[in-house]
């Protein structure tokens, strides 16, 4: 009985605390037309302290989206264009000798900011990606012998272009796994594109206003952690992730030869966190199965290793996730 009272009280508190979500969406909507899924994913990453990998052809407002979000939150933003000749020092900074002071001084790189846009991340070699990896996972950077903490909130949004594979370096599994969500950005609908064209040929391009401070985001993250997750929902999340590892135990024998490896415990953690953030965005104090299903593809699509059999039969990780969701019993 107590629990139901708590959930009711929690629900009211979260409805009050999450009122700024609508304000963010309204401000983003001034600049970005459509792309609702992209905006929701950015909010999920922001509220649950997770990084986002975006895949889509150029020109789908990926850069504009994170730039707009950083101006709404009144946070620092830097864009790093990844190229084959980029060095780790270009990203994290380096030691510079000062003749005046006769000593080495640290010059911090563009990663010391709240929002980092790593543009075309797969264009750089492994040593640069590993430098970014420490920043993403540990929220710190080592320059010389000293370690420096990164500002909070810290969100990496990386983009990769699925078309050109010339001169690209596929991201190592360990790094891909550090991204909470992998979001596939699609073309806008024809009505949306009509508005986009109008907006871009008008005299003035709309701007979003700064309505939040970084502290507001940090406070909201604590509230998101309070979103109630029932034991049945926990079990549902674990069943979904375990079905990617042992499909035969869930009546999905046909996928046994198609999956080299499934989601790690990080997949389960991220699925639970993303579901909490999604419930928060929907202004609810508890998770329902629909929340899990809504974020499942984005959390798992980059965490399933496909075998040659899957590629030969044109089976994608999307197909496997959809089949798992259709098979596993919803609580």
Is there a cis peptide before residue 35, judged by omega within 30 degrees of 0? Answer: no
Q: Specify the pLDDT at position 5.
A: 47
Residue 5 lies in a domain: no
Q: Are residues 210 and 231 in the same domain?
A: no
Q: Specify the pLDDT at position 127.
A: 83
Q: Are residues 184 and 243 in the same domain?
A: no
Q: Specify the pLDDT at position 2.
A: 42
Q: For residues 208 and 71, what is the distance between their CA atoms, to the nearest angstrom?
A: 7
Residue 7 lies in a domain: no
Counting as low any pLDDT under 70, the low residues of the chain are: 1-5, 163-168
Burial class (CB in 10 A: 0-12, 13-18, 19+), 32: buried
Would the pTM count as exceeding 0.85?
yes
Q: Specify the pLDDT at position 233.
A: 93
As given in the structure block, the two tokens for residue 232 are 């049945």
pLDDT digits (tens, 9 = 90+) for 93-134: 888 888 887 788 888 889 999 999 988 888 888 888 888 888
Domain count, the chain: 2
Q: What angle do CA 294, 300, 304 make, to 5 degrees?
A: 150
Between strands 259-261 and 179-184, the pairing is unpaired
* Residue 181, domain extent: 21-86+113-219
Q: Specify the pLDDT at position 176.
A: 82
Q: Specify the pLDDT at position 166.
A: 61
Q: Which of 219, 240, 270 is the last residue of a domain?
A: 219
């Amino acid at each position: 009985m107590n629990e139901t009272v708590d959930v009711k009280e929690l629900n009211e508190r979260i409805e009050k605390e999450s009122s700024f979500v609508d304000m963010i969406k309204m401000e983003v909507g001034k600049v970005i037309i459509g792309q609702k899924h992209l905006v929701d994913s950015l909010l999920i990453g922001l509220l649950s302290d997770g990084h986002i990998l975006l895949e889509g052809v150029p020109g789908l407002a990926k850069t504009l989206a994170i730039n707009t979000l950083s101006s709404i939150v009144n946070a620092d933003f830097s864009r790093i264009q990844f190229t084959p000749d980029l060095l780790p020092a270009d990203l994290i900074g380096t030691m510079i000798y000062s003749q005046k002071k006769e000593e080495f001084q640290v010059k911090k790189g563009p990663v010391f900011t709240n929002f980092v846009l790593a543009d075309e991340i797969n264009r750089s070699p492994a040593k640069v990606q590993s430098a970014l990896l420490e920043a993403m996972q540990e929220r710190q950077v080592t320059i010389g012998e000293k370690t420096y903490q990164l500002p909070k909130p810290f969100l990496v949004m990386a983009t990769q272009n699925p078309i050109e594979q010339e001169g690209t370096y596929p991201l190592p599994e360990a790094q891909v796994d550090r991204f909470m969500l992998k979001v596939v950005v699609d073309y806008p609908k024809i009505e949306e594109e009509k508005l986009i064209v109008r907006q871009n040929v008008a005299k003035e391009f709309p701007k979003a206003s700064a309505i939040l401070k970084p502290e507001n985001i940090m406070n909201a993250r604590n509230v998101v952690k309070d979103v109630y997750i029932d034991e049945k929902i926990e079990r549902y999340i674990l069943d979904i992730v375990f079905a990617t590892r042992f499909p035969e135990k869930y009546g999905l024998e046909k996928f046994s030869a198609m999956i080299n490896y499934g989601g790690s415990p990080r997949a389960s953690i991220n699925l639970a966190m993303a579901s909490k953030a999604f419930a928060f965005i929907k202004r609810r104090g508890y998770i329902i199965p629909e929340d899990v299903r809504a974020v499942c593809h984005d959390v798992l699509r980059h965490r399933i290793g496909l075998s040659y059999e899957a590629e030969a039969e044109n089976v994608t990780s999307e197909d496997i996730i959809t089949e798992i969701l259709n098979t596993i019993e919803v609580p």
